[in-house]
Structure 1
Amino acid sequence: MGVGAAVVLVLAVLAGAIAIAAFRPTPSLGAIGDASPTSSIELGSTNAPAAEAGATPSGEMLLVHVVGAVANPGVYEVSPGARVVDGIAAAGGLAGDADPSLLNMARTLVDGEQLRVPRIGEAPAAPVATGGAPPVGGGASAASGLVNLNTATAAELEELPRIGPAMSSRIIDYREQNGGFASVEDLKEVAGVGDATYEGLVDLVTV
């Protein structure tokens, strides 16, 4: 084979290689574009459960009715696991005539409880939670721990602060003459019940 024939053969081989490379299939832009949305969806699905896991369930706070010898009696929200001392703190702390020695400050509060802080000279009341059975007769309500003005005896009324035999008699006379007390506020209509006496009784009685 001459030199000229060898050159022609080399050129032919190069031309064939170039032709093969030119006709090799390449990935389409459509195929690349199809892969992107799948990747995006997978990322979104991974993040969603994490957000839900960090959400705080509603309704966890407890409602407690704090009454008696505290600065600001009322209904307060406290955290689950809160103790008696926390409920008293929520109500502004103890009043000057409070007797905290009668309370277990470390007791855990329950939802719907009425926490009564006794005054000096008063007997401690048992904690009251919602859902109790209604009282069956008697002046003191078994469900609320309050003295019922419409059913209490003279002796039961006299256990209340500032109520002696004369005052208990006037309270009973008023309810008999007026068909009972329509509300606790009617107590102000009883002769001798001033603002100070009323404020000392309002959290201890019911109708």
Structure 2
Amino acid sequence: MAVVLIGAAVLAATHFSSARPEAVRAPDRVTEAAAVRAGGTGAPSARIPGPTPGPDTGPRTGTESEPRGQIVVDVSGKVRRPGIQHLPSGSRVADALRAAGGVRAGADLTSLNRARVLTDGEQVAVDVPGALPPAVGTGTGGSVAGPAGPATTVSLGTATVEQLETLPGVGPVLAQHIVDYRTEHGGYRSVDELREVNGIGDRRFADLRPLVRP
């Protein structure tokens, strides 16, 4: 009987001890990065794709224009370094004068259009007596600084004998007659007064009329 009672007590104690709740440690949290390093098989978290780089279509800040062309002009007359000058396309008469070292003292530039755009192969003659003006509208030829230059007319009221000699058909004698008439009559009030100068007939007057002004 005593052995039976002891065995029953042991069974009862074992039953009650197995029925008691036991504290269980919570499992460690495994992050996505740790799972990747450990080669885990867990489902990866969703990732938001970034923008895909495309071709650069924005404005470029660098200068990529092709180099400008060049023109060649001949600068002669009263400049410090006369001769052939190589200039960028679109250069003007003033640029040619600077490339030639500038004009010399005493050069007459009052009637020179220094803002005119140059063309390839032309000549810029600075204050050269007797230089012929280019054909009108060609854009090439001589460009004479002074009253006898292209796109300008000779002033009958201020021109010297040398400047008048640059006109077609006007020699030293006729040029002096033009100056003498100006002195005697106090200048020219109109171009038509050239008809009254000794040595100028109708044909010569017709040639000179578009080239002079009072």
State whether TM-score is above 0.5.
no
TM-score range, shorter chain: 0.3 to 0.5
TM-score (norm 2): 0.37
TM-score (norm 1): 0.38
**Higher Rg:** 2
